[in-house]
Amino acid sequence: MSSRLITGNRGRERGFTLVELLVAMVLLGMLSVVLFGGLRFGARAWEAGSQRMERSNEIETTQSVLRRLLGTARGAIVFERDPDRGPGVWTMLGSRSGLSFAAPLPAHRGTGGPHGFALGLERQDDGRALVLRWALHRPESAPDIAGEAGEATVLLQDVAALRIDYYGSREMGDTAEWSDNWEDNTRMPRLVRVRVEFPTGDPRNWPDLTVAPAVAGWASESAG
């Protein structure tokens, strides 16, 4: 009787069979695949969310910069070469795809005085980019924004199109209306609207940016 008990105990202590080990290994492999796939999906989702947030922050930062600069745009004195004509006022020149204007440089840049700014698209190695150029304005000469002494910063990479519209009157007393150019230096537009388009399939979205310059209307009236 004791020999039977010993034999039975040894049978129960024998452990797992080969089939049981194979089943356990298969289940463990399937569980590892599921867990690894979940980790990869989570990492991709996190990366995609970070990229969308980064792109959204770039657009918000760009709009903030343009809103601040265009909101402080004003006339800058330009001395005429003919002394009989006296000094003139340089305000804003713009087309559908770019504009130049005078405005004070933000205080954190450390350089005071009026500056000339130019906004437009420039071709880069990886496509076109929205670029802002600026240079210190010197009244004795015409604004040289894109010269060697100027500075430039890329606001947005990979931009498909830029459209700028101007709201104001063509002549004194005329009704104000939207136009795709601003060529008269004697006055400022009442509003400037900037639109940016991205390539097809690009998830970035640019809300319309409409800014009222600090000194809108006729430069002669503002100077008075």
Residue from 138, 135, 145 nearest 105 by CA: 135
Name the band, by pLDDT with cuts 50, 70 and 90, for residue 206.
very high
Can you list the positions of beta strands (E) in 110-190? 114-124, 127-136, 151-156, 161-168, 177-179, 187-188
**pLDDT(222) > 50:** no
Return the structure tokens found at 52: 């969308």
Name the band, by pLDDT with cuts 50, 70 and 90, for residue 20.
confident
Residue from 106, 100, 105, 109 nearest 131 by CA: 100
- Tokens 């922050």 label which residue? 57
**pLDDT(62) > 70:** yes
Name the band, by pLDDT with cuts 50, 70 and 90, for residue 220.
very low
Residue 224: per-residue pLDDT: 34
Q: What does pLDDT average to over the chain?
A: 75
- Tokens 């000469």 label which residue? 141
H helix count then E strand count, the chain? 3, 13
**pLDDT(215) > 60:** yes
pLDDT digits (tens, 9 = 90+) for 49-58: 555 556 668 8
Least confident piece of the model among 38-42, 59-63, 122-126 = 38-42
Terminal alpha carbon distance of the chain: 122
Q: Map out the domains of the chain as residue ranges.
A: 53-223
**pLDDT(139) > 50:** yes
The answer to whether the pTM exceeds 0.85 is: no
Mean pLDDT, range 144-170, rounded to an integer: 82
